[in-house]
Amino acid sequence: MPELPEVETVVRDLRPLLVGKQIAHIRASRAALRRPWRRDWAGQLIGRCFKEVRRRGKWIIVDFDRGGHLLVHLGMTGQFTIQHATAPIQNHTHIVWTLGGGREHLRFRDIRRFGSVEFFPQTAALDALLDEKLGPEPWQLPRGWRRRFAHSQRCLKAILLDQRVVAGVGNIYADEALFAARLLPTQLGSQTSTAQAQRLRQAVICVLERAIGARGSTIRNYVGGSGLRGGFQEEFAVYGRLGQPCRRCRSAIACIRLAGRSTHYCPKCQRPAALGEVS
């Protein structure tokens, strides 16, 4: 569920609440996450102090002051929140870290268990894993990022969903960015001109920045690090708007299946590549 804006919001919420705090206790009621939580990690983590909370793509990284890291992915339904220790523990809460003093909890909840929480004692192993899985952050993409898909026979929607092309874009923001760039999700990477690729890069950055400004999108389960819902779903141009009028031209928003995901677009505003436009 959560894409870059939602993960960034969680990170910004948690950072001031976690940094400087110590882990007093850990209870893992369910270890069978996407990547299993190992029971022996608890003993290694107790007593450590939080140093920083940061994001890379859709991954949350928690650093400890004497080394070691937690790597968290929210999958589709993950929630990573700070709550009072007295707040009722919701079902599907898999891991609870009690913070020093015992008055607060850091909790990982994930209904579908597509998410994960892992401990990395060594920084090198963490960096290697992230480097292997992720391409550049959207803001680091060079103007010539077209090279990354210029020879691809995949459609632009599938390309945007590939975390090694650009890190952090998921199903919602891929659709929103393609609308903002006025490009069809079905257009092949190999049929995309330099100008179109630059427009798409700008659109991705613009859409993600606006979504972060609205604290991300809440469709169902997503909440930020302090339990607040997002607001960007109110500003969707195409996602989830099948049959509704395009905000720009009033024609009906269409929905097709692409790369195994529902894909929303405006058939009138989003045009195919002009003949001969691609070199």
Partner DNA sequence: CCGACGTCCTGCTAGC
Partner DNA sequence: TGCTAGCAGGACGTCG
> Nearest distance from residue 49's CB to DNA, in Å?
28
Q: Catalytic site residues?
A: 2-3, 58, 261
57 is an interface residue for DNA by CB under 7 A = yes
| Residue of the chain from 11, 71, 230, 269 that contacts DNA (CB under 7 A) | 230
Tell me the backbone φ, ψ of residue 234, rounded to 5 degrees: -70, -20
114 is an interface residue for DNA by CB under 7 A = yes
88 is an interface residue for DNA by CB under 7 A = no
> Nearest distance from residue 136's CB to DNA, in Å?
15
Site track 172-191 with DNA (rule: CB under 7 A), x = hit: x----------------x--
13 is an interface residue for DNA by CB under 7 A = no
Nearer to DNA, 43 or 260 (CB): 260
Q: Are 226 and 17 in contact (CB under 8 A)?
A: yes
> Nearest distance from residue 76's CB to DNA, in Å?
5
Residues contacting residue 250 through CB under 8 Å, at least 6 positions apart: none
Give the H/E segment covering residue 25: strand 23-28
| Residue of the chain from 221, 246, 265, 270 that contacts DNA (CB under 7 A) | 221
Nearer to DNA, 24 or 255 (CB): 255
155 is an interface residue for DNA by CB under 7 A = yes
> Nearest distance from residue 208's CB to DNA, in Å?
12
Residues contacting residue 4 through CB under 8 Å, at least 6 positions apart: 55, 57, 58, 138, 167, 168, 169, 170, 173, 208, 211, 212
Residue 6 gets which letter from DSSP?
Answer: H
Closest listed residue to residue 98, CA positions, set 39, 43, 25, 16: 25
Residues contacting residue 91 through CB under 8 Å, at least 6 positions apart: none
Residue 230 gets which letter from DSSP?
Answer: P
In angstroms, what CA-CA distances link 228 with 8, 179, 202, 223, 231? 13, 28, 29, 5, 10
- Per CB under 7 A, residues contacting DNA are 1-3, 6, 34, 57-58, 73, 75-76, 91-92, 111-114, 133, 152-155, 158, 161, 163, 170-172, 189, 216-222, 230, 259-262
